[in-house]
Amino acid sequence: MKMIEVKNLTFSYDDTKTTIDDISFSVEEGSYTTIVGHNGSGKSTVAKLLAGLLEKKSGEIYLGGLELTAANLTRIRSLIGIVFQNPDNQFIGSTVRDDIAFGLENHCVPQADMDEIINTNAARVKMTKYLDHEPTRLSGGQKQRVAIAGVLAMKPKILIFDEATSMLDPQGKDEIKKVIRQIHEESSLTILSITHDIDEVAQSDHVIALNKGKIAMSGTPHEVFTDEKKLKEIQLDIPFALKFRNALARRGVQTDAHITMEGLVKELCRSDSNM
Ligand SMILES: Nc1ncnc2c1ncn2[C@@H]1O[C@H](COP(=O)(O)OP(=O)(O)OP(=O)(O)O)[C@@H](O)[C@H]1O
Ligand SMILES: [Mg+2]
């Protein structure tokens, strides 16, 4: 089933420039899609349109088979959870527990059910032992994990990450990428992650590359990274392709069953000797 379906979507912030220019794409339920593209290509705008935070100019958006319209905005919003870039802007509670509880309280979840939901989701992001800690004192990676637990507690069907790892140190980035991968493996949640992180792209099922508000490329990580000519055109050029190749190699055959280890080694040796 298509969990996200976008047809001929167009959007403009101020009518002087078309920010999202007639894009169409769909995302299968339970899949993990990354969105790449250089700064200003429209990635965050797409995320905000999907979440109903911006109003489209034309086109259609369907989430879980339901069309996003003013009349069913509340239902649509309950399907989506978003984790943003800045870990410091996502806290409301004075403890990690309060923070995860916040959305649940707003949705009138009975107190009796709350503890179990909080504990389950803190465990999913490995933050159980921090439940009584102050969120402000956590590391960036831990803060993002709490933000993810808070979003998961609301039981969304679609999880959107808008550069959720970009402000973190390497360790924090790795923690979050691992959590995202684990959520993907253990649940049927549909994941859409906007990222500049090549390793994250390599671990996804599908990549959409945006350029100037249009979809420039779309396919498996392997299909996208091998089209170096096109990558160059959209300024995600050779270093991107090389890093991508290496990231895929680090993941071995896992992301791409039809690349043999021998093929990967050959590719890597060739790219190393060209550097
Ligand atoms: N609130 C706004 N008002 C007017 N223009 C905006 C607004 N937000 C974004 N834009 C413009 O819309 C275009 C797309 O922005 P968007 O934030 O979607 O890009 P992005 O791909 O997420 O970039 P980045 O990688 O820098 O996060 C840019 O040209 C940006 O300047
Ligand atoms: Mg953005």
Report pLDDT digits (tens) over 132-155.
999 989 999 999 999 999 999 999
Contact 271, 242 (CB under 8 A): yes
The closest residue, in CA terms, to atom 4 on ligand 1 is 13
The total number of structural domains in the chain stands at: 3
Same domain, 47 and 65: yes
92-129 burial, b at 16+ Cβ within 10 Å, e below that, comes to ebeebbbbbbbbbeeeebeeeebeebbeebbebbebee
Same domain, 72 and 133: no
Same domain, 72 and 165: yes
Position 270 scores a pLDDT of 52
User: Mean pLDDT score of the chain, rounded to an integer?
Assistant: 88
Pocket test for ligand 1, best of 35, 44, 163 (most atoms within 8 A of CB): 44
Atom of ligand 1 nearest to the CA of 210: 21
Same domain, 120 and 70: no
List ligand 1's pocket residues with C-beta within 6 A: 13-14, 19, 37, 39-45
Same domain, 38 and 102: no
Same domain, 225 and 245: no
In a domain, 41, yes or no: yes
In a domain, 95, yes or no: yes
Cα 203 to ligand 2 centre (Å): 20
**Average pLDDT of the residues in 104-117:** 89
Same domain, 24 and 147: no
Cα 33 to ligand 2 centre (Å): 16
Pocket test for ligand 1, best of 19, 53, 214 (most atoms within 8 A of CB): 19
DSSP secondary structure string for all residues of 173-205: HHHHHHHHHHHHHHS--EEEEE---HHHHHHSS
In a domain, 205, yes or no: yes
Position 258 scores a pLDDT of 46
Which ligand approaches the C-alpha of residue 234 most closely? 1
In a domain, 86, yes or no: no
pLDDT tops 70 at residue 261: no
Position 255 scores a pLDDT of 41
Report pLDDT digits (tens) over 30-52.
999 999 999 999 999 999 999 99
Angstrom distance (rounded) from CA 268 to CA 26: 33
Strands (E), 108-257: 158-162, 190-194, 206-211, 214-219
Same domain, 133 and 252: no
In a domain, 272, yes or no: yes
* Percent of the chain residues past pLDDT 70, beyond the cut: 88
Cα 233 to ligand 2 centre (Å): 20
Cα 193 to ligand 2 centre (Å): 11
Cα 3 to ligand 1 centre (Å): 25
The domain in which residue 185 lies consists of 1-79+157-236
- Place 249 in a pLDDT band, splitting at 50, 70 and 90: confident
